């Protein structure tokens, strides 16, 4: 038999499912990112094979070089999504031609949120909703439950990217939603849907469609058990905005935050509550986060944090318990671990608290991230309150940064923090003495402190 007549064996490569690096042979550990057992065998696509149904009209449009002084920058077209909390996180609305990656854990409510956004947008323009996980009947059943029916909301259960491109050309939608990117595939790539190659190429192709047509695209992505978006890290780099939908799926509250946003701030958060009729906006998150605070409980302190443009009241909890172990536990949730250990050292040195034989646990209640140096003083007072078993005045809000010498330093946007505390009926705020002069006229009592020792003497 002539060996030349035998079909050639398809070329393969081993691709890391974490970072996307490929290798000629299998290895136990990826040499690029260091992950173990992450290499999967994939066939190398033949460049001569072209999809028979691939359309060239969208992705082959060419642009001519243009002087930067001739670029129109004055008009940035934004469309309100119809959901105030979503617009807040996006930076004011949906930008034309943008690609938004919407990620979250399974069951957190990504599809519910996307359907509600699609319904709000379809009140003005045509929206094409591509589902690779559910049938049209399943989506219709959820829409009936949520009350999100609209004649301008078009459904297409499809996973073939080139068929989706054809549907976009025919329907000419103003908005496109892909649910989810892990189910999409290109038939000119031999690997399975959800693989690094498919996710990378499909996402890049969708972004090119968005830029060529000016159609904003929402791309839903799943999150792994480690909290990272499934697929290569390149996925986050090629899109314009990355939104994370966070929260415990067994509880009712959800937090929407941006980890990347080319058109706005990444400090904004949106708060939602999951109900029978879908996700409902929470206009006053401060009241939510402190509503379940126990009365006269040691170790509980209310502080005022800043998330983007809004001030939010947050409950800081601390538990201090004696231990016989040589190395006491230091655990934090929702607050900075390194700053917490620094605060413990300051309390030891400058406040005389013997914490070396105590396990210390600090938590920001409600699942919110209490970031910023203004959390230092409330963390310190919560730890001291639990250690001495004496509650802090429940009508007091506390803010302030702590230095290594035990001094209390000023914090930013103190007026906004004070107004939020006064709005919810608190009677007093403990703030750095250097910040008191910046506070305008207010109904709330203000006490300025210059050191940790002074703050402890006034409150505990």
Q: How many residues does this entry show for the chain?
A: 460
Tokens standing for 432?
């750095």
- Residue-wise pLDDT tens digits, 302-311: 999 988 778 8
Matching CATH number, 77-283, of 3.30.1490.20, 3.30.460.20, 3.40.50.300, 3.10.110.10: 3.40.50.300
Tokens standing for 272?
């939602």
Which pTM does this prediction carry?
0.75
Residue given tokens 């299998």 in the structure block: 26
pLDDT band, very low/low/confident/very high, at 47 (cuts 50, 70, 90): very low
Between CA 66 and CA 15 the distance in angstroms is: 39
Residue 417: C-alpha distances to residues 84, 291, 302, 414 (Å): 22, 18, 12, 5
Residue 50's pLDDT is what?
44
- Our CA angle for 153, 158, 164, nearest 5°, is 75
pLDDT band, very low/low/confident/very high, at 225 (cuts 50, 70, 90): low
Q: What whole-number percentage of the chain has pLDDT above 90?
A: 52
Tokens standing for 440?
């305008």
Give the other-Cβ count within 10 Å of 290's Cβ.
Answer: 21
Q: In which element (H, E) is residue 116 found?
A: helix 110-121
Whether the pLDDT of residue 172 is over 90: the answer is: yes
Mean pLDDT of 9-26: 77
Q: What whole-number percentage of the chain has pLDDT above 70?
A: 90
Burial 52-75 (b: 16+ CB within 10 A, else e): eeeeeebeeeeeeeeeeeeeeeee
Residue 9's pLDDT is what?
55
**Do residues 231 and 221 touch, judged by C-beta distance below 8 A?**
yes
In this structure, is the dihedral angle defined by the CA atoms of residues 38, 39, 41 and 46, taken in order, positive or negative?
Answer: positive
Whether the pLDDT of residue 52 is over 80: the answer is: no
Beta bridge partner(s), residue 317: 300, 363
Between CA 263 and CA 71 the distance in angstroms is: 17
pLDDT band, very low/low/confident/very high, at 14 (cuts 50, 70, 90): confident
pLDDT band, very low/low/confident/very high, at 4 (cuts 50, 70, 90): low
Tokens standing for 72?
């129109």
- Residue-wise pLDDT tens digits, 327-345: 999 999 999 999 999 999 9
pLDDT band, very low/low/confident/very high, at 1 (cuts 50, 70, 90): very low
Residue 38's pLDDT is what?
80
**Torsions phi, psi for 388 (to 5 deg):** -90, -5
Quick one: three-class SS letters along 394-408?
CCEEECCEECCCCEE
Mean pLDDT of 366-377: 88
What's the CATH architecture for 288-459?
2-Layer Sandwich (3.30)
- Residue-wise pLDDT tens digits, 283-301: 888 877 787 888 789 999 9
Rounded to the nearest integer, the mean pLDDT of the chain is 86
**Do residues 411 and 432 touch, judged by C-beta distance below 8 A?**
yes
């Amino acid at each position: 038999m002539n060996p030349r007549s035998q079909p050639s064996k398809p070329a393969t490569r081993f691709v890391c499912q974490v970072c996307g690096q490929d290798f000629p042979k299998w290895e136990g550990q990826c040499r690029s990112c260091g992950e173990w057992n992450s290499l999967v065998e994939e066939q190398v696509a033949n460049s001569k094979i072209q999809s028979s149904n691939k359309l060239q009209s969208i992705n082959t449009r060419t642009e001519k070089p243009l002087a930067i002084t001739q670029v129109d920058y004055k008009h940035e077209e934004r469309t309100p999504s119809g959901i105030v909390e979503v617009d807040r996180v996006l930076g004011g609305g949906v930008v034309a031609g943008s690609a938004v990656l919407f990620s979250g854990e399974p069951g957190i409510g990504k599809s519910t949120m996307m359907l509600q956004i699609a319904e709000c947008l379809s009140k003005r323009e045509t929206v094409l909703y591509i589902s690779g996980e559910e049938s049209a009947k399943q989506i219709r059943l959820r829409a009936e439950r949520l009350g999100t029916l609209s004649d301008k909301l078009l459904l297409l259960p499809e996973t073939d990217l080139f068929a989706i491109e054809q549907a976009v050309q025919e329907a000419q939608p103003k908005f496109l939603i892909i649910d989810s990117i892990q189910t999409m595939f290109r038939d000119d790539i031999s690997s399975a849907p959800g693989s690094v190659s498919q996710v990378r190429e499909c996402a890049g192709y969708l972004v090119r469609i968005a830029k060529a047509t000016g159609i904003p695209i929402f791309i839903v992505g799943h999150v792994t058990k480690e909290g990272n978006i499934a697929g290569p890290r390149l996925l986050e780099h090629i899109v314009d905005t990355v939104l994370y939908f966070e929260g415990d799926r067994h509880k009712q509250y959800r937090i929407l935050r941006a980890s990347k946003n080319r058109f706005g701030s990444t400090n904004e958060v949106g708060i939602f509550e999951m109900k029978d009729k879908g996700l409902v906006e929470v206009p006053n998150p401060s009241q939510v986060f402190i509503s379940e605070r126990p009365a006269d409980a040691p170790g509980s302190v209310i502080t005022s944090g800043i998330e983007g443009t809004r001030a939010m009241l947050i409950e800081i909890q601390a538990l201090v318990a004696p231990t016989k172990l040589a190395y006491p536990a230091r655990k934090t949730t929702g607050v900075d671990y390194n700053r917490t250990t620094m605060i413990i050292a300051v309390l030891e040195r400058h406040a005389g608290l013997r914490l070396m034989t105590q396990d210390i646990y600090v938590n920001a209640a409600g699942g919110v991230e209490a970031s910023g140096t203004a959390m230092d003083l409330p963390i310190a007072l919560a730890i001291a309150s639990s250690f001495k078993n004496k509650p802090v005045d429940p009508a007091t809000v506390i803010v302030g940064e702590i230095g290594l010498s035990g001094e209390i330093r000023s914090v930013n946007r103190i007026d906004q923090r004070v107004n939020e505390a006064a709005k919810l009926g608190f009677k007093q705020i403990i703030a750095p003495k250097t910040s008191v002069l910046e506070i305008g006229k207010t109904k709330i009592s203000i006490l300025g402190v210059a050191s940790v020792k002074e703050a402890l003497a006034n409150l505990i």
